[in-house]
Amino acid sequence: MYGVNSATPIIQGDEIFLSSGYDFGCALLKATPASVQEVWRNKNMRNHVNSCVLLDGFLYGYDESELKCLEWKTGQVKWSTKAYGKGAVQSAGGKLILYGQNGKLGLAAASPEAFKEFCSFQALTGKDTWANPVLANGILYVRSLDKMLALDVRLPAQR
């Protein structure tokens, strides 16, 4: 078994979310000046390559090859989908930017109610396109092992 911890911890106030792939799982810890206590631990989120994002009390991320939404306070799964395989997730404007392991790029609602995809397309081909999408100045950058794509996602009035 691998001892890989690729995902960056998420800290909110005095709480710390940790997640690791290869069937290890995740945990929410509460830190005080004197100690660290476990709030909950389970295998509902096993970040293989990239970290989750936290929005309005919910975590969105890839549990191995399944995109999931977890409640921060309880660790309970709100929804899941296998539509992207392993991948990376970013947030912008209250929405999720999804980038799957085979180059599928999509935009979805950041809602714990259900997975709602607004749009998606095959941005790049290949495999292991696990790099986080980057949004800067209205340009969305995605890459594979040997290619990179820059997409102007600004509204026409902003160009």
Look at the chain and report how many structural domains it folds into. 1
Tell me, yes or no, whether 110 lies in a domain: yes
CA gyration radius, the chain: 16
pLDDT 10s digits, 66-113:
999 999 999 999 999 999 988 999 999 999 999 999 999 999 999 999
Where in the sequence is the domain holding 28, given as residue range(s)? 10-158
By the 8 A CB rule, do 60 and 67 touch?
yes
Tell me, yes or no, whether 148 lies in a domain: yes
pLDDT 10s digits, 102-152:
999 999 999 999 999 999 999 999 877 888 999 999 999 999 988 999 999
CATH of residue 61's domain is 2.40.128.630
Measure the CA angle with vertex 111, ends 82 and 45; round to 5°.
45
Token digits of residue 44: 């509902």
